[in-house]
Structure 1
C-alpha cells in the first residue's frame, strides 16, 4: 500500500477529533495489560479485574498467549520498548508451564482442574510463533512445534476437534475452534511445516459444512448455541478469514464477507453490537459485548483492506468510536483505568462487573490496525 493510499485509508476512518483520544486509549490499554501482568506475579497476565471483589483473577495461559503479539506490535507502534520485554516474559512463562504432552491447560492458573484444551492451546501458538520470529530463540520454536503436533494428533478425520474440549465451556464441539486453526496456519508459516496448514484447512472446511445459507454457524458459543456471543462469532469468523487468506481459499473468503456483512446489519446506530445474536442475525439481548465489538472491528478492517468494502470500514469506525466512548482513562482505581469492560452496561450478561484482559487485547488490536492496515493482531 502506497503512502498516499495509507493516508487516504486513515482519513476515512476515525474522525480527526477522535484521534488523540484513540492514542491515549491505546497507551492506557497497554499500561493496564502491564499492570495485569505485574499483578499475576508470574509473567502471565491476570484474566480480569473484578470490580465487585476489587480483585485480580489468576494468570490465564490462553489469553496471555495471544496478548504476546499485541504487545510486540504495540512496542513497535509506540516506541515503548519495555512492552517488547513484557511480551518475551509472557512467552517464557508459557514455555515454562506447557504441559508434558505439548498442550496448554484450560482455565486460569488458580483453577483446580489441570487438563489440556484444544482452544487454549491454539491461542498460545500465536505467542510462541511471534516470540520465535522476534528472537529466534529455539525454546519458542520447540514449544510451538510440540503444541502444533499435539493439535494435529488430536484432530478428527473430518477436521473437527471433539476431544480435549475445555471443562469450563458448556459444549464439547465448537465451530469457534477455527481460531485454533488460525493459530496452526500461523505456525505453518513460521515453522514451514505444511501439515499445520492442511490441518487448519480441514477444520475450516468442516466448519463451513455446518454453516447455514445465511452464514450462521451452529455450535458457536461458550454457553448458548442458539444465541451466541458476538465474542465467539468473531472468533469463528476471524479463523475462517485468516486460514482462507493463508490457503488462498476463495470459498472461505466469500463466507467471511457474507457473515461479516450479516453481523454489521445488527449494529446499532451508536456503533455497538448486541451481545448475543440469533440465527437470523437479530439481537437477542439489549446489552453489548465490548470484546465482540472490538473483534468485529478488526474483522471489518481486515476485509475492507482485502476486498475493498467501504460499508465494513464504516462499521469498524462506529464500533471503535463506541468502545472509545466507554474508556475511563483517569480512574483512581488502576483495575479500571485503561481497562475494557466485558459488557456495556457493566452488569450485562458477559463478564459482568469485570474487565477481561482479552477485551483489552482485541481493542488494542483494533486501534493499531486502524492506524496501520498492515498490522495484524
Structure 2
C-alpha cells in the first residue's frame, strides 16, 4: 500500500470518528427510511432479485447477491411494508423469495457464500432463508413458499446428529463445523412447525437448543460460538445464539432456554456503556477484548433486548435498545449523494474495526432496520400486546 493510500484510509477513519462525535440521533422513522432505501439499492445493483452481500469501500464495488442474508431480509421488508404501507417493499420481498426458490440446492438446502462462491449447501444459510420463505407464505399464501421451506427444513432435520448438534455442512467460508450460534438455524425449524403443525420440526429445534445448553460455562457464556475465534466471540454471533435460545424457548414453552438467553442479555447490558458504544468481542468471563464496536451485533442485541422486554416487561431492556440505537444512529449517514453508502451501516465502528472492516455488509443494515422497528413497536405498546411479534424480526 502506498503512502497516499495509507493517508487516505487514515482520513476516512478520522471522518468516521468525527461523524459519531458530531451527529445527533433523529427520529426512528427517519433513520429507518434511510436504511430501507440502502437495502433497496443493494438489491437493485444485482439485477437478479437477490441483495448484494456487501459494499466494499476501498475498491468501491458491490459483492454478488448473498442467498443467506437475502433470506432474512425478506421478513424485514414485509414488516416495513406493514408499518409504512410501502407496496414496493412488499414486491421486493416477494422477488427475493422467488429468487431464493430459483437457486435452492437440489438437497433442499441453501448455497454457502455469495452467489458463485460455492455449489454446496450449508446449515446456517439454509436456516436464514427458511425465515424468508415462511414469512412469504404467511404474507402471500402461495404453497410454493411453504414447499420450499419444508424442503429446506427436511434437509436440516436429516443432517442433524442425534444429540441435536450439526457437525456436517458447516460453511466452507469459515472452515468451522460446530457452532452454537446455529440455535438461530434451529429457530427456523420452529417457524416451519408453525406453518405445518409437524411436531418433528419443533422437536428438532429443541434438540439443538438442548445441545447448545451443554456448551454453557458457569457464567452462561457459550463455547463454539464465533466465526473466527471461539475464545472471544463477536457480539454478532453472541446475539445469534441468544436469539435462537430465546425464540425456541418461547415456541416450545422452555423457560430454561429463555433464562439462558436472559443471562446473555444481562451480561451484555452490564457491559453497555452510557454512550451505547459496546465493544465487539467478549471472552468467557464476559470481559470485552477489543475497543472497536461490531455494529451488526449492536443492532441484533437491540432486537434481543426488545424481545426480552416483550417477554418479561422489564423496562431496562427497552431502554437498552434505545441506548444502543442512539449510538448506531450516529454512525449512519442520512444526507448526501453517495447512494452506495447513504443510509447503510458499516461492519465496524470505526470503519477499520475487526468485523468486516471497510465494508457495508447488508445484514448490518437489515438488523439495524429490525432494531428500529422493534424500538418503535415497544415505545408504542405495553409488553402485554406482543404475542405475535417474533416472526417480524427474523
Common fold, TM-score beyond 0.5?
yes
CA distance in 2: counterparts of 1:170 and 1:292, whole angstroms: 21
1:174 pairs, out of 153, 170, 179, with: 179
Report how many aligned residue pairs link the two structures.
Answer: 359
Q: How does 1:1-377 map to 2 (within 5 A)?
A: 20-111=26-117, 113-373=118-378, 374=386, 375=389, 376-377=392-393
State the 1:127 CA deviation. 0.3
Deviation readout 1:170-210 (Å, 9 max, x if unpaired):
42100000000111111110122111110000000000011
1:203-255 deviation per Cα after TM superposition (whole angstroms, max 9, x unaligned): 00000011112110000000000010000000000000000000000111111
Gaps of 5+ in 2: 1-23, 379-385
- How far apart are the structure 1 equivalents of 2:28 and 2:314? 23
Q: CA RMSD in A?
A: 1.1
Deviation at 1:308, TM superposition (A): 2.0
Partner Cα separation in structure 1 for residue 219 and residue 153 of structure 2:
32
- Mapped to 2, the partners of 1:334 and 1:165 lie a distance apart of 34
- What's the TM-score, normalizing by structure 2? 0.89
**3-state SS of paired residue (1:355):** strand
Residues 56-112 of structure 1: CA distance to partner in whole angstroms, max 9, x if unpaired?
A: 11100000000000000001111111100000000000000000010000000031x
SS of equivalent residue, structure 1 residue 336: coil
Counterpart contact for 2:351–2:358, Cα < 8 Å:
yes
Residue by residue over 1:257-312, the C-alpha shift from the partner in whole angstroms, topping out at 9 and shown as x without a partner, is 11110111111221021111111111100100000000001000110111122222
After TM superposition, the runs of 4+ consecutive aligned structure 1 residues lying more than 6 A away are none
Displacement of 1:331 in angstroms is 2.6
Asked if the contact 2:50/2:65 (under 8 Å) is kept, the reply is yes
Q: Distance in 2 between matches of 1:20 and 1:287?
A: 23
Alignment partners' CA distance in 2, 1:139 and 1:355: 32
Aligned to 2:14: none
Question: Partners in 1 of 2:306 and 2:93 — Cα distance?
Answer: 25
3-state SS of paired residue (2:27): helix
CA distance in 1, matches of 2:337, 2:230: 39
Q: Which runs of 5+ in 1 are unaligned?
A: 1-17
Distance 1:203 1:103 in 2: 18
